[in-house]
């Protein structure tokens, strides 16, 4: 097959019509180059438009991702605040319970101290009565023995 193509090329070059075809070929080459240049410009324009579309799409995706991340962060913050509130309420409830326990213990201790004070007052009153009775008996003993001390000694 190569031989057939080579023969045709030799025949085209040998004929006088070849010079006329050369000027037509030049015009055709120029037309091809012009078409290629226009196609290249069109491809560049399409590529720029596609790049701009990709840029807009990327920007939109980035904005959507940013919104999603912000929403997720907001949810996490809300969860942290909710957990903190629950912990604070739990601590507050524990403090209330401890406070009530301290108050109850203080009330019981106060009642116990009042009872102890009342018992001490009763003992003091009982001791005063007992001392009063002892005092009365001592006075009786001294009064009974006093007349003996006033009587003259008959032995002397």
pTM, full prediction: 0.43
What the block records as the tokens of 44 is 């560049």
Inter-CA distances, 94 with 91, 103, 115, Å: 5, 14, 31
- For the chain, how big is the Rg over CA atoms in Å? 63
On whether the CB atoms of residues 136 and 142 are closer than 8 A, the answer is no
Residue 149 is inside which H or E element, if any? helix 17-150
Q: How many CB atoms lie within 10 A of CB 85?
A: 10
Q: Tell me: the pLDDT tens digits for 27-76? A: 888 989 899 999 999 999 999 999 999 999 999 999 999 999 999 999 99
The pLDDT of residue 12 is 46
Sign of CA dihedral 30, 36, 40, 41: positive
Task: Indicate the pLDDT class of residue 140, thresholds 50, 70 and 90.
Answer: confident
Residues 29-66, buried b or exposed e (16+ Cβ, 10 A)?
eeeeeeeeeeeeeeeeeeeeeeeeeeeeeeeeeeeeee
């Amino acid at each position: 097959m190569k031989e057939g193509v080579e023969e045709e090329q030799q025949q085209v070059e040998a004929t006088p019509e070849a010079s006329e075809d050369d000027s037509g070929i030049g015009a055709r080459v120029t037309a091809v180059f012009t078409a290629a240049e226009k196609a290249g410009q069109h491809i560049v324009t399409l590529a720029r438009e596609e790049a701009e579309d990709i840029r807009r799409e990327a920007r939109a995706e980035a904005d959507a991702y940013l919104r999603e991340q912000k929403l997720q962060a907001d949810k996490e913050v809300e969860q942290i605040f909710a957990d903190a509130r629950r912990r604070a309420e739990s601590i507050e409830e524990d403090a209330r319970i401890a406070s009530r326990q301290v108050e109850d213990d203080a009330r019981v201790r106060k009642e116990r101290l009042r009872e102890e004070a009342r018992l001490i007052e009763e003992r003091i009153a009982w001791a005063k009565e007992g001392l009063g009775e002892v005092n009365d008996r001592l006075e009786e003993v001294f009064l009974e023995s006093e007349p003996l001390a006033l009587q003259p000694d008959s032995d002397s």
